[in-house]
Amino acid sequence: MATITSIINLKGGVGKTTMTIALAHYLAGEHGKRVLVIDLDPQTNATIALVTERRWRERDQAGQTLYQLFKDQLDGTRAFNASEAILPRVSNITGGVPGLDLLPSSIRLHRIQDKITKIADIDTFRGGPVYALREALRGVLPYYDHVLIDCPPNLGIITLNGIAISRYFLIPVVPDILSTLGVPLVLDRMADFALRAQHEIYGLGIVVSRYRPTSRLHKETVANMRRDAIPGIHPPIFATVINEALEVAEAADVEESVHSLRDKFGGGGPHKQFSGLANEYMRYVGG
Ligand SMILES: Nc1ncnc2c1ncn2[C@@H]1O[C@H](COP(=O)(O)OP(=O)(O)OP(=O)(O)O)[C@@H](O)[C@H]1O
Ligand SMILES: [Mg+2]
C-alpha cells in the first residue's frame, strides 16, 4: 500500500511545493518508486511545475482536475474519475519521468472552497466532504509506492481531505523566527485532527528549507531548533538541509526540456541535497 505524506505548513512561501516536487522526482528517478503527487492547492503551483500550462488548461476544461471532485460534492454528481484525471510520466526531464504521476489541481477550487465547508460536518469529521479524496482514490492507491500531497498554507476542508488519507506529515520550515513559530501550531492542529477524526497521523519530520549558510540568523535558528527538539514530542529535524539556490527556484520551469535530475535541480549543491532528502525520507518511512 502507498505511503502517503502531506507536505504542510500554515505559513506561505516556505518551500512546500518546491520540496514536494523535488522529493517526488528523486523518489521516482533515483529510487525507482511509483510516485503520485497530489496538488491540493488552488494556487496550482505543483501542477504547473510538473506539466505545461497548456496541458493543464485542457485537462481543467475537460473536468479532469480536483475541481471536478469537489464540485461533485456540491452537486451530488459523480463525474470525477481519478484514473482518468491522473497524468502519468510528468516532468520536463527527457519528456517525462517514468513512475512520476500527478493528480492536478485547479484555480477554480478557490471559488467552491467556502461552499464545501458549509456542507461539511467539520466538528465530527464523520463522512462527507472530508473524505471525498479518500473515496475517489480507493481504486488507484494500490498502484503507488508513495503519495506526496502538496498542501496550501491553510487547514481548510480541501487540505483536510489530504490529511485524512495521510499517514505522515512533513513540515518544511525557513529558519527565521516567524517561520519557526508556526511549527507548534501545525503540530497542535494535526494532533487535534487525529483525535477528532480518529485517524493516526505521524510527524515524519521538519526539513529546513531555503537555508542561507551566510546568514547568522539562519545558523542560530537551526542550532536552536536542533537543541530544543524533544524526541518523542517533536518530529525529528532532518539532517538534510535545503539551501536557498537560484537553480532550485528555476527548477519549477517545465517549459524547457532537460536531461537529468542534476540538470533540472542544479548540479552540485541542490542535487546532492535533494538526493539526500529522498534517502533520509526513505529511511524514516522504512521504504
Ligand atoms: N531552496 C530554494 N531556493 C531558492 N528558492 C526557493 C527554494 N525553495 C523555494 N524557493 C522559491 O520560493 C518561493 C516559494 O516556494 P514554494 O512555492 O515552494 O513555497 P510554498 O510553501 O509552497 O508556498 P505557498 O504557501 O504559497 O504554497 C518560490 O518562488 C520558490 O521558487
Ligand atoms: Mg505551495
Burial class (CB in 10 A: 0-12, 13-18, 19+), 40: buried
Residue 126 — pLDDT band, cuts 50, 70, 90?
Answer: low
Q: Output the domain CATH number for residue 41.
A: 3.40.50.300
CB 61 within 8 A of CB 54: no
Q: What is the rounded distance in angstroms from the CA atom of residue 70 to the CA atom of residue 112?
A: 8
- Does the pLDDT of residue 1 top 60, yes or no? yes
CB 30 within 8 A of CB 275: yes
Residue (of 53, 118, 51) closest to 91 by Cα position: 51
246 contact partners, CB below 8 Å, separation of at least 6: 266
Q: What is the pLDDT of residues 158-175, one digit of tens each?
A: 999 999 999 999 999 999
Confidence of residue 113 (pLDDT cuts 50, 70, 90): confident
Q: What are the pLDDT digits (tens) for 251-261?
A: 999 998 999 99
**What's residue 114's pLDDT?**
82
- The DSSP bridge partners found for residue 202 are 168
pLDDT, tens only, 200-225: 999 999 999 999 999 999 999 999 99
Question: Is 124's pLDDT higher than 70?
Answer: no
Q: What is the mean pLDDT of the chain?
A: 94
Q: Name the domain count of the chain.
A: 1
Tell me how far apart the alpha carbons of residues 100 and 87 are, in angstroms, rounded to a whole number.
9
Nearest CA to ligand 1 atom 11: 249
Domain interval for residue 33: 3-285
pLDDT at 127: 64
Query: Which residue, by CA, sits nearest to atom 3 of ligand 1?
Result: 244
- Quickly state the pLDDT bin for 123 (edges 50, 70, 90): low
State residue 118's pLDDT score: 76
CB within 5 A of ion ligand 2: which residues? 16-17, 45
Closest CA relative to residue 90, chosen from 151, 39, 141, 136: 39
Q: Give the closest ligand to the alpha carbon of residue 11.
A: 1
To test ligand 1's pocket by mutation, which of 18, 110, 155, 238 has the most ligand atoms within 8 angstroms of CB? 18
Start-to-end Cα distance in the chain? 11
For residue 61, what are the contacts with CB-CB under 8 A and spacing of at least 6?
A: none
Going by pLDDT thresholds of 50, 70 and 90, the confidence category of residue 178 is confident
User: What's the pLDDT score for residue 122?
Assistant: 59
Residue with CA at minimum distance from ligand 1 atom 15: 15
- pLDDT value at 83 more than 70: yes
Ligand 1 proximal residues by C-beta, below 6 Å: 12-18, 41, 43, 45, 152-153, 209-210, 242, 244-245, 248-249, 252
User: Across residues 96-120, what is the average pLDDT?
Assistant: 90
Sign of the alpha-carbon torsion through 210, 96, 138, 72: positive
**DSSP letter assigned to residue 122:** T
Residue with CA closest to ligand 1 atom 6:
249
The ligand 1 atom nearest the CA atom of 150: 22
pLDDT grade, residue 180 (50/70/90)?
Answer: confident
| Residue 198, phi then psi, degrees to nearest 5 | 55, 50
Instruction: Give distance in angstroms: CA of 270 to centre of ligand 1.
Output: 14
Q: Report yes or no: 28 and 20 within 8 Å, Cβ to Cβ.
A: no
Report how far residue 36's alpha carbon sits from residue 197's, in angstroms, rounded to the nearest whole number: 24
Ligand 1 midpoint to CA 8 (Å): 13
Worst-scoring range by mean pLDDT, 47-51, 63-67, 98-102, 110-114?
110-114
Q: Please state the atom number of ligand 1 nearest to the C-alpha of residue 11.
A: 25
Q: Three cell numbers at 60?
A: 481543467
- Strand ranges, E, within the chain: 3-7, 35-39, 100-103, 146-150, 168-173, 202-211, 237-243
